[in-house]
Structure 1
């Protein structure tokens, strides 16, 4: 029985020795402040706080200048807190608070984790395969490594103006070569397209200790075979609006990286840029121009070229011919057949039809929608008028449009053709009179 009071005393001591600490973890920059609060459920006689290698006994009155000041409602409420000002990098680690036990003379303590932010080093971006071997359809492997941060830095990926959200592996955090700091590495795998060519692949780093993000960039040089600029796989192109006896330019916009080699064939004549060729009947001259690279902007991405054949002048025979254009680079070739027309370009093939209404420009789809809506409205009005005039559908049994709406219905005996005047009701619907069967 003597052991029971001792066990009870130990249980009370354990329960009364629990300390609640807030917060459990905090991230701060050098020079910032932090409030830490420890609380027990009984009055305490002192409050001790350990920060880094320094220990402070904090009274609830007149603290020494420069020391952490007391934070809380008072020792009598069981609160031991510290308002820490001007955080130092050396304070990174655990912060302890100590209070006396409710029973006994020993101290009990609790800790929270203080992370003093330290900005990371410059990021490193590694892309494979090498820059001069990137091809459309292949997968690149890009690795971004950010060294020596506390806590580990955050990484986001961008291609041009767009953020990359797919193809990312989870970031891997590891201990840095410098104690107390962390490195973070993330890998990106992406299938290349022609639209990725000449765009900047960026690994962007953000961190609490940075005033602005850090970046590592790599411009992608994605190579691909020639193709039509509009992405159409059709091998025939018609050029409209040429005029007989005037100079004509057969202009075809293509896309290619690297620059395509150009060769035109007309009848039995082969035309290459820089070498004018006489027309077979010597009435005009055909000249193939070197591909003209279009500037890269929001409309034109990269790798767009104008490929042009000049006819000086256009003859009636020229309009009847077929012109064959061969484009090639080291990744493949594309062959197109070009036809000529003196007609204006059809509306279906011209730029999108537009209509200006009171200063608003409407495209073809909007115009068609408005026309269809008006037709549906007119049809609905016609059906309502028709139903009202003929006493049909939802207007069945209503007075006619031009009749006296208050005239009473004739008695049943006055209805012509009534076969059974003894019945006092009839069934009327859709303008037809239906009488129930009468037993004989």
Structure 2
């Protein structure tokens, strides 16, 4: 903030007490060519080398300053211990200081009193000790569809992030796992002010995200990060796990290894964990059991709702019959039909893999180079 005051013959501004009284009677002026850097200084206690600068685009004839926590007014050439001059020089338009070690008693309003030509300019910088926000909160909208203790897929979630009572306000950013959210999904930032018992104005910020979830989002996290430089690690964050309840999904991934024995590895998405069984050549093998040369493993959790399901065939497989995998949970079931055929080309062995379900046409047809298992 900057005031201008043209001295009168009958007035002498000699002390800051007199200046304070005069300020009530002078007009706030838009003083071109004068700026304060920064306009407001947010400074943590015990910070080192805190710089405050009043700058003019014209030479400054004289300058005195008043610093919170120090008694009286000080000519810029006679600064108290623990305070150094900062800037190029008065002739170059710089009147600034550097506080070597900032203390809580230095919070308040910094004044610089500059005489330029025949006019007196009073510029101020508010020095504020920041207050860290409360831990970040995340809220789910009331209209969210819940399905068996989790989220139903194919719905738009309304998620609100709240960071309370900070000076200055926290900066909110959103992520889906480690990927930034599209800003078009965010509502405008809302702010509110409360005054604490010490008269400090604390700012609360909140923002709403609307995100359409599908089965592919199962196991991911919506993350809201509240960044604030007064927090030791730089931010607080809150996250919403996307516990989306889904039956086994119809689009798996498949891999086959073949050698002295064969392994069929199918990865499917399901939440909760599926119960599985295999059927080969009329033989059914439940998970965790071995029947003849066939060994069915218990599904392995790969995170994000993905499960790896293995069938080991303890003999070389040259040409498979139709392999059937059934996966089910409380929400439904899915049967996957798998056909694997080995063929040779230029001395290299390949597998032609096809997989489909009863409710869709062929989903995957791929060619894998044969990897021998010894």
Report the TM-score, using the length of structure 1 for normalisation.
0.54
Residue aligning to 1:296: 302
1:59 to 72, 75, 84: 75
Residue aligning to 2:133: 120
Residues 1:168 and 2:186 aligned together: yes
Residues 1:329 and 2:332 aligned together: no
Residues 1:35 and 2:41 aligned together: no
CA shift for structure 1 position 210: 2.7
Question: SS at the partner of 1:350?
Answer: strand
* Whole-Å separation in 2 of the counterparts to 1:73 and 1:248: 81
Answer 1 or 2: which has greater helix percent: 1
* Whole-Å separation in 1 of the counterparts to 2:262 and 2:95: 87
Question: SS at the partner of 2:132?
Answer: coil
Residues matched between the structures, number: 314
Structure 1 residues without counterparts, runs of 5 or longer: 1-8, 232-236, 278-283, 355-440
CA shift for structure 1 position 156: 2.1
Residues 1:256 and 2:256 aligned together: no
* Whole-Å separation in 2 of the counterparts to 1:87 and 1:22: 19
Residues 1:97 and 2:119 aligned together: no
Residue aligning to 2:37: 23
Question: SS at the partner of 2:305?
Answer: coil
* Whole-Å separation in 2 of the counterparts to 1:80 and 1:248: 79
Question: SS at the partner of 1:227?
Answer: coil
Residue aligning to 1:110: 123
Question: SS at the partner of 2:270?
Answer: strand
* Whole-Å separation in 2 of the counterparts to 1:217 and 1:302: 17
* Whole-Å separation in 1 of the counterparts to 2:55 and 2:316: 94
| 8 Å contact from structure 1 (residues 88, 116) kept in 2 | no
Question: SS at the partner of 2:209?
Answer: strand
| 8 Å contact from structure 2 (residues 157, 211) kept in 1 | yes
CA shift for structure 1 position 169: 2.5
Q: 5 Å matches for 1:44-83?
A: 47-51=63-67, 56-65=72-81, 73-74=89-90, 81-83=95-97
| 8 Å contact from structure 1 (residues 255, 305) kept in 2 | no
* Whole-Å separation in 1 of the counterparts to 2:77 and 2:169: 39
Residues 1:349 and 2:366 aligned together: yes
Question: SS at the partner of 1:226?
Answer: coil
Residue aligning to 1:365: none
* Whole-Å separation in 2 of the counterparts to 1:185 and 1:83: 37
| 8 Å contact from structure 2 (residues 154, 213) kept in 1 | yes
Q: Using a 3 Å threshold, how does the CA distance of structure 1 residues 338 and 34 change in structure 2: closer, same or farther?
A: closer
Moved more, 115-124 or 324-333: 324-333
Larger radius of gyration: 1
Question: SS at the partner of 2:268?
Answer: strand
* Whole-Å separation in 1 of the counterparts to 2:284 and 2:104: 73
| 8 Å contact from structure 2 (residues 258, 370) kept in 1 | no
* Whole-Å separation in 2 of the counterparts to 1:239 and 1:70: 71
Residue aligning to 1:216: 238
CA shift for structure 1 position 152: 0.9
| 8 Å contact from structure 2 (residues 276, 299) kept in 1 | no
| 8 Å contact from structure 1 (residues 95, 114) kept in 2 | yes
CA shift for structure 1 position 239: 8.3
Residue aligning to 1:432: none
| 8 Å contact from structure 1 (residues 271, 287) kept in 2 | no
Query: CA offsets per residue over residues 126-174 of structure 1, 9 Å max, x none?
Result: 2344693213322222222112222111222233332323422333232
CA RMSD of aligned residues (A): 5.0
Residue aligning to 1:152: 169
Residue aligning to 2:156: 139
Higher relative CO (Cα under 8 Å, sequence separation at least 6) belongs to 2
